Amino acid sequence: MKDIVIAIDGYSGTGKSSTAKAVARRLHYIYVDSGAMYRTVTLHFLKNKVNLDDNLSVISHLSELELEYRFDNSKNDFELFLNDLHVGDQIRTPDVNSKVSAVAAIKEVRRALVKKQQALGEQKRIVMDGRDIGTIVFPQAELKIFMTAGIEVRAARRYRELLEKGINSDPDEISRNLRERDHFDSTRSDSPLVKAKDAIEIDTTHLTFDQQVNKIVKLAENIISEN
Ligand code: DC
């Protein structure tokens, strides 16, 4: 039995986070949502009205920001804290959605967060999802997955997710935001969203949630049981 790192990358709305979380639970691994970190920095910048074009201001606000994952025994899950405050769903608002790609394109932000992500992976036994996990954060990850799905399916899933949280949204607006973020994330100069050469691509358009989780768990178990 060996301990491994599982990197899951892909476009917005492909179900990466919920899949990664379920995979981690099945394997008794830690799950880390790296997108939540970029969202939390974005929330902090929005609250403090940081001008994203002002590099000095970005750097100074970054230095006062403390991000921490704490284990919540009652939920058997990790919760993200920003300067000692639980962030929760505040990082999923349309305001954060519309700014997060621009924040994630800032070199200094990426450098700081990648360092934190790598520290979390030192003990292995981790599943992390994002855009650059298999390429930049953990290029040596034992298992790399790249998730894709058609835009209509992704938009419909996001719409349902929001509805379940009691948030009524405009499906066209969701589609537009997903397309914009795909474009921005894949064309930025620093760590663009690309499939790692050794990643296994899983198209989830016609897969159920359980099917996609089972597929990844099976791949992971094969590697874990190798000598
Ligand atoms: O996975 P998500 O939609 O919560 O991610 C929010 C944004 O953060 C997304 O637009 C791209 C960015 N991101 C990134 O650049 N690198 C990561 N490892 C994770 C997310």
φ, ψ at 57 (rounded to 5°):
-65, -40
Task: State what percent of residues in the chain have pLDDT above 90.
Answer: 67
- Ligand 1 centroid to Cα of residue 38, in Å, is 6
Q: Are 108 and 65 in contact (CB under 8 A)?
A: no
Q: For ligand 1, is residue 40 a contact (CB within 6 Å)? A: no
pLDDT at 148: 94
pLDDT in tens, 100-159: 989 999 999 999 999 999 999 999 999 999 999 999 999 999 999 999 999 999 999 889
Residues 61 and 201: their CA atoms lie apart, in Å, by: 37
pLDDT tier, 12 (very low <50, low <70, confident <90, very high otherwise)? confident
Strands (E) located in 34-140: 67-72, 77-82, 85-86, 126-130
Residues 40 and 126: their CA atoms lie apart, in Å, by: 21
- Ligand 1 centroid to Cα of residue 49, in Å, is 21
Q: How far is CA 217 from CA 25, 26, 27, 205, 208, in A?
A: 10, 8, 8, 19, 14
- Ligand 1 centroid to Cα of residue 217, in Å, is 23
**Two tokens, residue 219:** 């791949």
- Ligand 1 centroid to Cα of residue 208, in Å, is 23
Strands 126-130, 5-10: pairing is parallel
Amino acid 182 reads D
Q: For ligand 1, is residue 126 a contact (CB within 6 Å)? A: no
Amino acid 185 reads D
Q: For ligand 1, is residue 110 a contact (CB within 6 Å)? A: no
Distance of CA 72 to the CA centre of its chain: 20
- Residue with the smallest CA separation from ligand 1 atom 6 is 35
- Ligand 1 centroid to Cα of residue 103, in Å, is 10
Which residues are within 8 A (CB) of 53 and not within 5 positions of it... i.e. 6 or more apart? none
Q: For ligand 1, is residue 12 a contact (CB within 6 Å)? A: yes
- Ligand 1 centroid to Cα of residue 34, in Å, is 7
Handedness of CA 76, 100, 179, 11 (dihedral sign): negative
Strands 126-130, 85-86: pairing is unpaired
Q: For ligand 1, is residue 181 a contact (CB within 6 Å)? A: yes
pTM of the model: 0.92
- Taken in order of first residue, the domains within the chain and their CATH numbers are 5-213 (3.40.50.300)
Q: For ligand 1, is residue 15 a contact (CB within 6 Å)? A: no
pLDDT in tens, 18-60: 999 999 999 999 999 999 999 999 999 999 999 988 989 999 9
Which residues are within 8 A (CB) of 56 and not within 5 positions of it... i.e. 6 or more apart? none
- Residue with the smallest CA separation from ligand 1 atom 11 is 101
pLDDT at 75 over 80: no
